[in-house]
């Protein structure tokens, strides 16, 4: 993936609630911006209720028809109604259509809680290597202020490029949370200050390279390396910077992986105020 990568197929999951409406609005905006195909997906968890299934099918068609009229820049709008476990069905449909991005809502709803619960968003991240955008609030305005969580230089490149694919960027803050390990301490001769300086220099160099490769864009960058717990560092950075979007890319089984699996993922989705763009990549 490079900074010039654009999305051609966008999938959004909906249960027709207000929380899902926010994700749908964002999906429509991104699909229009990229002249992409838009896939509207609803998963029916009540396998024997044909009435609900028929109603859901009509609702999906109504949304698709409205999108086709209101958003002529969207290349095509397609609907999918499936029955089963939400996260697994969404991942399978995304794989079938080779979706570039999956969007889900972040809020609980009275109608179809399963897809909007943080645990299902977490399950989806375990089932797919595709980017997942968790949408918290309704808005068609482009993302302008980005907070990018960085695990290492390789993942930093992936996270920065992914962030650029969904934004009209004005300002970016890259944060690297670290806890010095034994190797770090040995290489630094026990000098914790040197460890921090090395981390900071690497992060700054990565951001400078990213800005140079995307010199046609005008945006400011800021690199912050912090010695501390990942979750607490991200929470503080969100409070300080108030981003429109927080971006995390991680290896599936190491590094910042804990941010995508377990209590940290739940905390980021449940307690945060900002949209989240998350992706788990294959481990080296």
DSSP state of 117: S
Rg (CA), the chain: 19
Compare 109 and 27 and report the one with higher pLDDT: 27
Residue 238 parent element (H or E): helix 230-241
Q: Are 111 and 135 in contact (CB under 8 A)?
A: no
Select from 3.40.50.620, 3.30.930.10, 1.20.140.10, 3.40.190.80 the CATH code of 143-281.
3.40.50.620
- H helices of 35-152, where? 50-70, 86-97, 113-116, 118-127
Domain residue ranges in the chain: 9-135, 143-281
**CATH hierarchy code of domain 9-135:** 3.40.50.620
Q: Which two tokens stand for residue 132?
A: 């997942």
The closest alpha carbon to 156, from 167, 141, 171, 172, belongs to 172
Report how far residue 47's alpha carbon sits from residue 49's, in angstroms, rounded to the nearest whole number.
Answer: 6
Percent of the chain with pLDDT over 90: 26
At 112, give phi and psi (nearest 5°). Answer: -145, 80
Residue range 91-118: mean pLDDT, rounded: 74
Asked if residue 91 has pLDDT above 70, the reply is yes
pLDDT, one tens digit per residue, over 64-79 is 777 766 677 888 889 9
Count of C-beta atoms within a 10 Å radius of residue 193: 9
Residue 236: pLDDT band with limits 50, 70, 90: very high
pLDDT of residue 118: 47
**Residue matched to tokens 């991680």:** 250
pLDDT of residue 245: 93
Q: Are 27 and 37 in contact (CB under 8 A)?
A: no
**Residue matched to tokens 């207000």:** 18
Report how far residue 134's alpha carbon sits from residue 27's, in angstroms, rounded to the nearest whole number.
Answer: 11
The closest alpha carbon to 103, from 116, 85, 113, 112, belongs to 116
Helix (H, G, I), strand (E, B) or coil at 15: coil
Residue range 194-203: mean pLDDT, rounded: 91
Report how far residue 229's alpha carbon sits from residue 59's, in angstroms, rounded to the nearest whole number.
Answer: 44
Asked if residue 1 has pLDDT above 50, the reply is no
**Fold match flag (9-135 vs 143-281):** yes
Report how far residue 249's alpha carbon sits from residue 37's, in angstroms, rounded to the nearest whole number.
Answer: 24
Q: Look at 20-24, 113-117, 280-284 and tell me which has the smallest mean pLDDT.
A: 113-117
Residue range 22-46: mean pLDDT, rounded: 89
């Amino acid at each position: 993936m490079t900074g010039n990568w654009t999305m051609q197929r966008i999938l959004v999951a909906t249960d027709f609630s207000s929380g899902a409406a926010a994700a749908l609005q964002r999906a429509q905006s991104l699909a229009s911006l990229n002249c992409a195909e838009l896939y509207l997906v609803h998963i029916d968890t009540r396998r024997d209720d044909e009435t609900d299934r028929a109603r859901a099918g009509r609702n999906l068609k109504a949304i698709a028809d409205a999108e086709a009229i209101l958003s002529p820049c969207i290349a095509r709008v397609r609907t999918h109604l499936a029955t089963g476990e939400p996260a697994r069905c969404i991942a399978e449909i995304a794989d079938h259509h080779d979706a570039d991005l999956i969007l889900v809502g972040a809020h609980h709803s009275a109608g179809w809680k399963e897809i909007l619960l943080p645990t299902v968003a977490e399950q989806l991240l375990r089932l797919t290597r595709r980017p997942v955008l968790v949408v918290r609030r309704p808005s068609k305005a482009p993302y302008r202020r980005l907070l990018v969580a960085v695990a290492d230089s390789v993942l930093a490149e992936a996270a920065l490029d992914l962030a650029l694919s969904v934004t009209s960027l004005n300002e970016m803050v890259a944060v690297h949370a670290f806890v010095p390990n034994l190797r770090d301490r040995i290489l630094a001769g026990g000098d914790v200050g040197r460890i921090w300086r090395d981390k900071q220099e690497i992060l700054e160099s990565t951001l400078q390279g990213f800005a140079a490769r995307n010199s046609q864009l005008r945006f400011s960058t800021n690199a912050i390396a912090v010695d501390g717990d990942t979750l607490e560092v991200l929470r503080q950075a969100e409070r300080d910077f108030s981003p429109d979007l927080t971006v995390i890319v991680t290896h599936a089984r190491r590094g910042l992986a804990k941010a995508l699996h377990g209590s940290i993922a739940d905390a980021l989705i449940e307690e945060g105020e900002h949209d989240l763009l998350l992706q788990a990549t294959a481990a080296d």
